[in-house]
């Protein structure tokens, strides 16, 4: 399987995950403490994008909705 992110981007995400585990990671304008693992990954990827690292573009809402609808449909069949 091909690498999704560059090594530097993976390092940025790893650094952010360590901050989350230590309890020092805070989000955007509200400065609330980040508890969610998914949110921490998103913060790491957005920081990597800002630095110009090789990271895929954000998925559009339309694509995300389509994916979740497809998952629900396959879950119902089982």
Q: What is the mean pLDDT of residues 27-50?
A: 91
- pLDDT for 8-28, tens place per residue? 999 999 999 999 999 999 988
Q: Which pTM was predicted?
A: 0.68
CA distance 63 to 65: 5
Any residues with CB less than 8 A from the CB of 67 and at least 6 apart, and which? Answer: 59
Question: 40: how many CB neighbours lie within 10 A of its CB?
Answer: 20
Q: What pLDDT score does 23 carry?
A: 92
Q: Lowest mean pLDDT: which of 6-10, 33-37, 59-63?
A: 59-63
> By C-alpha distance, which of 44, 54, 49 is closest to 4?
54
């Amino acid at each position: 399987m091909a690498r999704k992110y560059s090594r530097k981007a993976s390092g940025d995400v790893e650094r952010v995950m360590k901050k989350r585990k230590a309890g020092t990671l805070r989000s955007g304008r509200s400065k609330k403490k980040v508890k969610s693992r998914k949110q921490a990954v998103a913060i790491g990827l957005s920081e990597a994008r800002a630095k110009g690292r090789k990271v895929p573009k954000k998925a559009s809402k339309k694509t995300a909705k389509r994916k979740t609808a497809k998952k629900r449909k396959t879950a119902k069949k089982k």
